[in-house]
Structure 1
C-alpha cells in the first residue's frame, strides 16, 4: 500500500460497506486512490474481484485504475472488473445478446457508417418535413444527434411515435401541428434506422447501454448471472454519466443498494455528449438514506492556486452547484498570474519565451501544459514555440485529414479511382518513389493547361514535351503504375488495393523522414488510415475504392475521425491540449490561454434544428444558464490542473477581432486584492517561422504486450518495430477474416453451452450461417469459404473434442507477470478433464502441427504458464483444435518445463523492453520470412533476402495474401 496514509475522509469512503454512498470529490483530493483502495480492501476482506464492478466513462480512466490496482495487488488472473460503461455493455451483449436477437457477429458502427445508414434510410423514406432533394445531407447530422440523445434518455422509437401521435390529437395550433408532424417523421426515421441496424447486425455505442440495461431488467438468467453476482458497485465521475448509464447502475444495484458513486458537480463538462448533471439529484432521491462524504482536501495544488480556483467556481449560482469546502494540503506557493497582452502574437510569444526559460533552467518540457478552449486556438502557440526553439507535443491534436502523409495517400487513391484527376497526380509526383523536380512539375502544369488533356494521358502518350529525361521517365512510370492500380481497383478490396499502392510508392517515403518522431507519427497516421478502411470493410457490402472514398469523405466532413493518431509522448516537449482533454491530468506548470469572452464562454451557437421533446426527457436540467455554467466549470477544470504555477493569459486583439476583446467573465472573481498578480506584456513585432512537427526524444514505455506481439518480436524485431512502433499498416488477409468469423461462431456456441443449451452440429451450422449472413469483408470474393467453413464445423462438432467437452470458461483474458512487465492474452476456451489436468483450448484454422512443434511455440508456452498461475498447479495442458481436419494436438507441460517456459517468456520480454529503451530493433532476415513480410519494400535487409529467394526477380505483391504472424490462428 502507499506510504502516505489516507486522510479521515478518504478512509471513511474506503471503509464504507453497506448501502448507498455519495462521495463528493474536489480536484486533487485522491478520488481515484479511494476507489482503487476500496476495491482492494474489499478483495482483502473476502469479497472477490468478480463480486465487484467499477465503472467509469473512458477506456483511459479504466486502464489507469486497473494499473493502480495491479501495482498494489499484482496481476489479476481474471478480467479485472474496472471498465468503462460501453465496454461493460458490450461484454453483456457478447455473452447474452443472442437472447434478444443480437447476433454474436454484431459490430459497433462508427460515425461515418451511422451517417451513411441514416442517409440511406432518409433517401428511401423521403419524409416531407425532413427531405430536401437539393440538399439531402443537411439534416443527417442533426438527426443522428437527435437519435443519439433519445437513446441516452432511454426513449424508444415507439415511445417517441406514441407521444407525437398523442400530441397531434390535442394540438389545434397550425405551427404546432407542423412541428409535431416533423417529430412523427423523426420517430419513424428512428424506427426504420433501428430495423436496418438489426438486419445488418449493427449497433452503436448507445445501444450497448440501452440493450444491456434492458437485458438486466427483463431477463432473469442475465440478472442471475450478471446482476446478482455483483455485490458492490462503484462509479467514478458520476457527474459525467447520462440518464441511460445511471439507469444501468440502478438496475445492476437493484434492491441491495450497495453502490458508491464518486462525483464532483463542479467538474461536469460533458453535456455535449449527453452527460446529465441531474443524475446527482436523481441519486439522492433514489437513495434517501444515502451517506455523503466530501473529499475537500486538495493534495495537488498550492494554497494560492486552490484559493483562486475556489473563487472561480464560487461565482456560479448557488442553486446550480453543491457547496463544498476546498482546502489546500500544500504550502502557499507563488501567486496565480494574469497576463494581459496587446495581441495574440505577443501573448503566445511571451508564453513560449517563459517555456524556453523554464526548460533552460531544468524544468522538463513535459511538465508544462498549455491549455486552450478549442484545437483551432493552438495554431499561434505552435508557431511561437517553433520560433522560440521549444519542442512541443499536441495531445488529441485535430486535423488528421490535413496531415501530409494522409493528404498524399488520399491523393494517390483519388488518382487511382480517376486517372484523369491531374491535380491528384501532380501531388503524387512529389512522392519520393515518383519524384519529379519542381521545374518538371511546373512544365507539366503548363502542358495540361495548354492541351486541356489529362496529365496521365499526356504521360502515357509520350506527349510531355519539355521534361528532362529523368523526369519524363519517372512521370511515365508513375502514370503506368497508377493505371495498373486503376484496373485493379475495379474489383479489388480497397484494403488490398491501398496496401499495393503503398508498396508501389515506397510507403509514401516515410522511411526517408529524417526525424524519428516524424516517422513514428506518420506511421501511426497511416496505420489509423488502415483501421478506418477496416472499419469500412466491417459493414460495407461494396469494398471497392469508390465506395471507400465516399466513406472517407463522410468521415472527414463529420469530424468524427479528425484526431491525429496518438503516439507515445516525448519527454522534453511542452504539452498542448484542450481543456476537455486535460480532464483528469495534472502538471507542475499550467498556462490557460485565450481568456477572453469570445472563447470563454464563447458567443454561443445556433439552437439545434432538431431536439428531443422536453416532455420525453425523464430528468429536468438543473437551474441556471446551462451553457455558461458548463463553460465556467470547464474553465475551473483547466485551472485546477496546475500543481505549482498557474498562468491565465489573454490578448486584447485576436485575428478577426473587431475591437478590444473583454476578458472572460470567469476572471472577475480574481479581481479581489491578493487573489492574483497582474502582468502587462509589451507588444512584440511580427515575424513568422516555418512550421515543423514536434521534436524531442521518446519516453521509454513499460512492457505490456500481447502474446502475439512477443512472438512477432522473437521472429523479427525489425518487423515488430514497423508494426508496433511505427504502426505502419499491414496487409489484410482473407485467412485472418475467416479465422475471426469462425472464432466468433465457436465463442457464441460455447457460451450457449455454458448457459445450458445443447449445441450439436446442426445448431452450430445454424450459427455459422447467421454469422456469414451478417458478416461483410471479403466473403463476396471467396464464396467457397461458406461451404468450407460449414464442412469444417460439422466435422469438428461430431468429434469428442466438442461434443464431450466440459467447458468451464470462454474468452477468458489473462495477464502474465514477467520481470520486464506483463504479457497479456486470452484463452479461447478452458475445459475440465476427467484426468484433472486443466486444459486450454485454442482454435486453429490452419493446417495441423505436431506436438513437438507446438511445445516449442511461444504462444503455447505462454498459455500453459498463465493457466498454471491461474489454477496454482504445475501440470497443465494446451490443446490446439485444428478445425481444418478436426484433429487435436495436445501438449502437457509440467514441473521444470513449466518453469523453463516462464523463464523463456520473461527473457523475451526483457529483450523487448531493452529494444524499446534503446530503440534497437535489428532485422532477422531470411528468404522465407522476408518473402511474406508486409514491410519488405521499406526494409533494405528484407528486400535483399526476398530477392535472394526469387533469384532477384521482383515480387508480384498482389500474389501475397497471407497475413504475417497469423499462422492459421482463428483469432
Structure 2
C-alpha cells in the first residue's frame, strides 16, 4: 500500500480533487475517456490509506460484472483488499441469500435464468400471441414495469403518465393481465426472476429493522458508478442501504451517456443530485485521455445540441496530440458502403493494424448482415457483439430453408418478389412497423434480405445462386471464441473503445431511428451518436448510404446530428459494391503490379481453356470475377467460393485450377490439366 499523498501524484488535478472528497455526498461528473475508473479506485485507496475508510465497509456498485471485475483488479494492484465491488444484482442477491432463512425461512426460491418459458405459459393462458418475437417484447415490458416499480393495477395510469407503450399488438389491459398472471405463475412454480432479487431485498430491509441495521452496519461507504443508468428500483434499494447517511454516498456518471431509458434508466437522479442532497460536492472530470482533439471536438459538438441534458454534459478537452481528421463519406447504396469499409479495414490490416482494435458501429442489429458479408468476402475475421449472428436468427434461418426448397423445385421468377413473399408470414411488410423491440428487429432483419434479393435481381442472379451466396456467408460466421473486427450496435459498444471506428449508416431514419418522435426520444438518439463518436481513439470514419440499393427511388439524407459538420461539398464515393466494379481498363491503371500480373495470368488460363472448349471466354469466368480473384488472392476453395461469380458448379469445375494459378503455377499447364479433368 502506498502512502496516501503518494497515491494522488498519479492523478490529474480533477481526479485528485475527486479522491480527496472522501465524505459526501459527492457527485463526480465524468465525461467519456476521462479516467473515471482510475479516479474511483484511487479515491477508495486514498480513503483506506488515510484511515477514513475501513475497506470492509466499502461497497462499490457497478452496472456490469466486467466493470466490477475491473474495479476489483485495480484495487488489488493498489494493495487494497476487502472492498466489495459488485453489480446491484450481485450485492442484493448476496444479502438476500444470507438473510432469507432468518427473514422468511427455508431456501431462497430458484432464480430463473430466462423468462421465456414462463412468459409463454402466461401468454398462452391469456390467448395472446406467443411467437418468439412477442415473448421477447413481453419479457422486456415485464422488466421495464418491474424496475419502474409499477404494479399491474397501475400499469395503464403509468403508460399515460410516461408515454411508454405496451408491446405491439396488445393493449394496456392485456399487458396488465400479463403482469398479474406472471406474478401468479411465479408463485405457483416457486421461482423468482432477476428483478425480484432487487424487489425482495428492498422488502426485506423495509420490513425487518434488525436486518436493515445489520446491513447498514456492514456497509458504511457507497460508490455508485454509471449513476445516469440507475432505475427507480435500484435507486430505492440504494436509499434503503444508506438509511439516513447521505454523507456516505459518492456517485459517478455522465448525463450525456444516458442511452438505456428503454430498460428503465433515468438520468434525472444524476441531474438532480445536488438538489436531492443539499451541500453535495460536485467534481467534474473533463480531461479526455482516450481520443484525439479532432474526435473530441466532434463529440462536444454533437452533445452540445442536446437540450435535455446539455446543462449536465461535460465539455471534454483532449489530452492527446493532434491526430487524423474525422473522415466523412457518402456512398450510393448500403452494399457499396459495407464493401468500401471492408476495403479500408483490409488496408489497415495490411499496414499492421490489429483487427481487435477496429470496430464497425451501427444503430440496429439488422445492419450487421451486409458488413458480415463484406468482411467475409475480404477474408477478414470478425465477431458480432451484443447480438446473435445475422444468419442464426430464427426468422432468417426459416426464410432460407423455405427458399432452398423452392430453388430445389426449379422455381423461376423475380427473386426479389419470391423472397418478399416468403418474408411476409415471418413478420415483414412493405412498411416498417411503427414500434420498437423484437417486432422491429425481426422486420429489419427480414427487410435486409428482401433488399439484397431485389438488388441481386437487378444483377441477374438466380434464386439458387443467391442462396449459395447467402449460405457461404452463413458458413463464414463469426468465430465463437471472439476476436477480429468488432461489429456492434451502438448500445452494445458502450464502455468499450477501439483505435479505429467506422460509424456507419448515419442517415435520417437510422440516426435518429424513425421510431424516435418525442423530444425525449430524440435527445436519447443524440446521446447515442455521442457515445458512438467517443468510442474511437485514433481514427473515426462516419458514413451513410444515399439509398438502400441503387434501384430504389427514395434517397436518404445525412443525420441531423452530423449535418452541421458534414463537408459542404459532398462527394459520393463511387468505389461500389462487388456487383458494380470498375471496368478492366481502370482496374489495370489502379491495381498493384502483383494484382495486374495475376489478372493477366488468369486471363491467359481462361483463354486457353475457353478456346479448347470452343466457348466464349466470359462463359468460363467474367473479367469482374478475375479482377476479384486477382485482388483477394484466395488460398482455399472456401475463400474462393465467397467471391461473386463463383457458384458451386464453377467452383467444382475450375476451383482447383484457379488456386494453382493464384499460387504461381504456369497458366498453360494448369489449363491443359483442367481440360483433362473436365473430359474425365
Which residue, out of 335, 338, 344, partners 2:334? 344
Q: CA deviation at 1:145?
A: 4.0
Residue by residue over 1:374-394, the C-alpha shift from the partner in whole angstroms, topping out at 9 and shown as x without a partner, is: 222122122222333333232
Going from structure 1 to structure 2, the CA distance change for 1:186 and 1:671 (only over 3 Å counts) comes to: closer
Take 1:566 and 1:37, find their aligned partners in 2: how far apart are those partners? Answer: 36
Q: CA deviation at 1:87?
A: 1.1
Which residue, out of 569, 580, 602, partners 2:513? 602
Take 1:116 and 1:380, find their aligned partners in 2: how far apart are those partners? Answer: 33
**What SS class does the counterpart of residue 320 from structure 2 fall into?**
coil
Partner of 1:117: 118
Residue by residue over 1:441-495, the C-alpha shift from the partner in whole angstroms, topping out at 9 and shown as x without a partner, is: x99xxxxxxxxxxxxxxxxxxxxxxxxxxxxxxxxxxxxxxxxxxxxxxxxxxxx
**What SS class does the counterpart of residue 73 from structure 1 fall into?**
coil
Take 1:42 and 1:268, find their aligned partners in 2: how far apart are those partners? Answer: 29
Is 1:104 aligned to residue 111 of structure 2?
A: no
Take 1:138 and 1:584, find their aligned partners in 2: how far apart are those partners? Answer: 28
Residues 143 and 263 in structure 2, CA contact (< 8 A), matched pair in contact too: no
Going from structure 1 to structure 2, the CA distance change for 1:678 and 1:85 (only over 3 Å counts) comes to: farther
Is 1:324 aligned to residue 314 of structure 2?
A: yes
**What SS class does the counterpart of residue 666 from structure 1 fall into?**
coil
Going from structure 1 to structure 2, the CA distance change for 1:189 and 1:595 (only over 3 Å counts) comes to: closer
Take 1:332 and 1:18, find their aligned partners in 2: how far apart are those partners? Answer: 38
Partner of 2:532: 638
Q: CA deviation at 1:643?
A: 1.0
Residue by residue over 1:649-689, the C-alpha shift from the partner in whole angstroms, topping out at 9 and shown as x without a partner, is: 1111124954211111111231489xxx9664224253499
Residues 153 and 243 in structure 1, CA contact (< 8 A), matched pair in contact too: yes
Q: CA deviation at 1:190?
A: 3.2
Structure 2 unpaired stretches of 5+: 161-169, 410-473, 580-624, 640-680
Partner of 1:660: 555
Residues 103 and 201 in structure 1, CA contact (< 8 A), matched pair in contact too: no
Going from structure 1 to structure 2, the CA distance change for 1:658 and 1:234 (only over 3 Å counts) comes to: farther
Which residue, out of 564, 567, 577, partners 2:488? 577
Is 1:202 aligned to residue 207 of structure 2?
A: no
Which residue, out of 37, 55, 58, partners 2:61? 55
**What SS class does the counterpart of residue 510 from structure 2 fall into?**
helix
Partner of 2:564: 669
Q: CA deviation at 1:207?
A: 1.0
Residue by residue over 1:673-708, the C-alpha shift from the partner in whole angstroms, topping out at 9 and shown as x without a partner, is: 9xxx9664224253499999999xxxxxxxxxxxxx
Mapping 1:384-533, distance limit 5 Å? 384-399=374-389, 402=392
Partner of 2:24: 19
Take 2:372 and 2:538, find their aligned partners in 1: how far apart are those partners? Answer: 24
Q: CA deviation at 1:311?
A: 0.6
Going from structure 1 to structure 2, the CA distance change for 1:50 and 1:657 (only over 3 Å counts) comes to: farther
Partner of 2:201: 212
Which residue, out of 568, 592, 602, partners 2:503? 592
Partner of 1:620: none
Partner of 2:523: 629
Partner of 1:254: 243
Partner of 1:29: 34
**What SS class does the counterpart of residue 668 from structure 1 fall into?**
coil
Residues 240 and 277 in structure 1, CA contact (< 8 A), matched pair in contact too: yes
Q: CA deviation at 1:214?
A: 2.2
Take 2:498 and 2:259, find their aligned partners in 1: how far apart are those partners? Answer: 20
Q: CA deviation at 1:60?
A: 1.6
Partner of 2:93: 90
Which residue, out of 273, 278, 281, partners 1:283? 273
Partner of 2:576: 684
Partner of 1:371: 361
Take 2:390 and 2:376, find their aligned partners in 1: how far apart are those partners? Answer: 20
**What SS class does the counterpart of residue 336 from structure 2 fall into?**
helix
Mapping 1:747-758, distance limit 5 Å? none
Residue by residue over 1:254-297, the C-alpha shift from the partner in whole angstroms, topping out at 9 and shown as x without a partner, is: 21111111010100011111111222245333202111111111
Paired residues, number: 500
Residues 337 and 646 in structure 1, CA contact (< 8 A), matched pair in contact too: yes
Going from structure 1 to structure 2, the CA distance change for 1:597 and 1:321 (only over 3 Å counts) comes to: farther
Mapping 1:812-823, distance limit 5 Å? none
Take 1:282 and 1:136, find their aligned partners in 2: how far apart are those partners? Answer: 41
Residues 369 and 390 in structure 2, CA contact (< 8 A), matched pair in contact too: no
Q: CA deviation at 1:566?
A: 5.7
Is 1:149 aligned to residue 147 of structure 2?
A: no
Is 1:42 aligned to residue 42 of structure 2?
A: no
Take 1:100 and 1:203, find their aligned partners in 2: how far apart are those partners? Answer: 16
Residues 369 and 575 in structure 1, CA contact (< 8 A), matched pair in contact too: yes
TM-score (norm 2): 0.66
Mapping 1:819-834, distance limit 5 Å? none
**What SS class does the counterpart of residue 53 from structure 1 fall into?**
strand
Going from structure 1 to structure 2, the CA distance change for 1:335 and 1:288 (only over 3 Å counts) comes to: same
Residues 400 and 565 in structure 1, CA contact (< 8 A), matched pair in contact too: no
Residues 268 and 633 in structure 1, CA contact (< 8 A), matched pair in contact too: yes
Partner of 2:471: none
Is 1:647 aligned to residue 541 of structure 2?
A: yes
Going from structure 1 to structure 2, the CA distance change for 1:183 and 1:664 (only over 3 Å counts) comes to: closer
Take 1:354 and 1:211, find their aligned partners in 2: how far apart are those partners? Answer: 52
- Aligned-pair RMSD on alpha carbons? 4.0
Going from structure 1 to structure 2, the CA distance change for 1:644 and 1:29 (only over 3 Å counts) comes to: same
**What SS class does the counterpart of residue 295 from structure 2 fall into?**
helix
Is 1:269 aligned to residue 180 of structure 2?
A: no
Take 1:357 and 1:234, find their aligned partners in 2: how far apart are those partners? Answer: 44
Residue by residue over 1:884-930, the C-alpha shift from the partner in whole angstroms, topping out at 9 and shown as x without a partner, is: xxxxxxxxxxxxxxxxxxxxxxxxxxxxxxxxxxxxxxxxxxxxxxx
Going from structure 1 to structure 2, the CA distance change for 1:282 and 1:317 (only over 3 Å counts) comes to: closer
Q: CA deviation at 1:206?
A: 1.1
Going from structure 1 to structure 2, the CA distance change for 1:383 and 1:106 (only over 3 Å counts) comes to: same
Take 2:334 and 2:359, find their aligned partners in 1: how far apart are those partners? Answer: 18
Residues 344 and 654 in structure 1, CA contact (< 8 A), matched pair in contact too: yes
Take 2:217 and 2:355, find their aligned partners in 1: how far apart are those partners? Answer: 49
Residues 355 and 485 in structure 2, CA contact (< 8 A), matched pair in contact too: yes
Going from structure 1 to structure 2, the CA distance change for 1:297 and 1:251 (only over 3 Å counts) comes to: same
Residue by residue over 1:345-375, the C-alpha shift from the partner in whole angstroms, topping out at 9 and shown as x without a partner, is: 3222222222111111122121211111122
Going from structure 1 to structure 2, the CA distance change for 1:592 and 1:103 (only over 3 Å counts) comes to: farther
Residues 363 and 489 in structure 2, CA contact (< 8 A), matched pair in contact too: yes
Residues 231 and 265 in structure 2, CA contact (< 8 A), matched pair in contact too: yes
Q: CA deviation at 1:52?
A: 0.5
Residues 267 and 634 in structure 1, CA contact (< 8 A), matched pair in contact too: yes
Residue by residue over 1:823-876, the C-alpha shift from the partner in whole angstroms, topping out at 9 and shown as x without a partner, is: xxxxxxxxxxxxxxxxxxxxxxxxxxxxxxxxxxxxxxxxxxxxxxxxxxxxxx
Structure 1 unpaired stretches of 5+: 168-180, 409-422, 428-441, 444-517, 523-563, 608-623, 696-971
Going from structure 1 to structure 2, the CA distance change for 1:566 and 1:680 (only over 3 Å counts) comes to: same
Take 1:578 and 1:94, find their aligned partners in 2: how far apart are those partners? Answer: 36
Residues 19 and 40 in structure 2, CA contact (< 8 A), matched pair in contact too: yes
Take 2:497 and 2:280, find their aligned partners in 1: how far apart are those partners? Answer: 31
